[in-house]
Amino acid sequence: MIPAAITAVFRDCVEIDDEDEQHACQLYDYVKSGDIENLKRVLEYPEFRAVINMKNHLGCTSLRIAAAEGHLDCVRYLLDFGASVDSPDVKLQTPLLVALKNFHFDCAEVLLEKGANPNGDPHHVTTPLYVMTMQGSFRGMKLLLEHGAATCESHNNFLPMMSLHVPLCPIQIALTYKRYHCARLLLNYGTETDYLPSSRPDRSHMILYDLCINKLCALVGFQLLYECGTNIHIRPKDSKKVWELEERPDIRRYLKYITENPRSLKSSCRLSLMRQYGRNLLTQIDKMDIPVVLKSYLSLADIS
């Protein structure tokens, strides 16, 4: 995995001459400053259009620079003239990823509409959705999810090999950092919650209920997991029995109740609809001719 990532960094390296480099540097200067008029002027010449995807010493194309700076007009114009929408820099960051990291959501939306991969570069250590969840950016997450971002996609397959105990999926990040609004959004878009990764079948990334226990999540974290159908009985042998811990009586009572009692009819109906619509749940709810209170219930908004 690591050699493949290193190869990916240098995959676009080509030999260039001094004149091409000068033209490319002019493009870099114009897009960095947001000088759209001069950018339009020089792109009328074929020698400038020929270097539109040339990279600087950091592997940044003109589009990558424009996206990082948030110059929307430059982003649009470069794309119209054939700029490569997913060309990564030396860190394997795509224009979409750097636009989102810098909260330039208008640029990110244009890139996605022009075909940018919502999951980022496959050799990057992680995905744009992971980064947005890490930052707690509900808007960035929703933008990615609306354009098909994979809720369980994880590029960092080499991390378990390095014995690093880190959350690998967005839902784990949301719960680890107690971003319950982000967790709710991921669950509404059908993220998987019962899984055993092939890389570590012996203990999983971390079973989600146990993650909530270890990270001292509030009751809402456990409720969200249960109400979206996460199996409470999939637990490792060394799992903590939180209902035996006196210092968290509310969690103990809740977990004891859901393990000893059948799911309510109301909860079962919601879960059935969530499974039926999957990723399309939120858009389908908006089209349903039902009371607002039911829309709130279907989208887990009643759990807070």
Beta-carbon count within 10 A of 242 CB: 19
pLDDT at position 131: 94
Range of the domain at 85: 1-122
Claim to verify: residue 143 and residue 176 sit in the same structural domain: yes
Among 122, 157, 189, the domain-final residue is: 122
Claim to verify: residue 117 and residue 153 sit in the same structural domain: no
More confident position, 218 or 124: 218
Among 65, 98, 122, the domain-final residue is: 122
Q: How far is CA 240 from the centre of its chain?
A: 30
pLDDT at position 90: 93
Claim to verify: residue 147 and residue 269 sit in the same structural domain: yes
| 59 touches 88 (CB < 8 A) | yes
Return the H-helix or E-strand segment holding 205.
none
Residue 104 CB partners (closer than 8 Å, separation 6+): 67, 68, 69, 70, 72
Among 78, 104, 122, the domain-final residue is: 122
pLDDT at position 159: 47
Nearest to 69 by CA among 103, 40, 38: 103
CATH number at residue 72: 1.25.40.20
| 96 touches 112 (CB < 8 A) | yes
Claim to verify: residue 250 and residue 136 sit in the same structural domain: yes
pLDDT at position 4: 56
Claim to verify: residue 275 and residue 299 sit in the same structural domain: yes
Residues 40-74: pLDDT tens digits?
999 999 999 999 999 998 999 999 999 999 999 99
Nearest to 94 by CA among 39, 149, 49: 149
Residues 124-176: pLDDT tens digits?
888 999 999 999 999 999 999 999 999 876 655 544 443 344 567 899 999 99
Hey, what long-range contacts does 29-34 have (CB within 8 A, 24 or more apart)?
Answer: 30/74, 31/62, 31/63, 31/65, 31/66, 31/69, 31/71, 31/74, 31/78, 32/65, 32/66, 32/69, 34/66, 34/69, 34/71, 34/73, 34/74
Claim to verify: residue 118 and residue 172 sit in the same structural domain: no
Q: How far apart are CA 35 and CA 52, in angstroms?
A: 15
Claim to verify: residue 263 and residue 177 sit in the same structural domain: yes
pLDDT at position 3: 55
pLDDT at position 14: 45
**Is pLDDT of 20 > 90?**
no
Residues 24-47: pLDDT tens digits?
899 999 999 999 999 999 999 999
Claim to verify: residue 63 and residue 95 sit in the same structural domain: yes
Claim to verify: residue 114 and residue 158 sit in the same structural domain: no
pLDDT at position 29: 93
Provide the domain count of the chain. 2
| 40 touches 77 (CB < 8 A) | yes
Claim to verify: residue 95 and residue 82 sit in the same structural domain: yes
DSSP 8-state class, residue 262: P
Claim to verify: residue 49 and residue 170 sit in the same structural domain: no
Claim to verify: residue 101 and residue 145 sit in the same structural domain: no
Instruction: Supply the mean pLDDT for the chain.
Output: 84
DSSP 8-state class, residue 161: G
Beta-carbon count within 10 A of 177 CB: 17
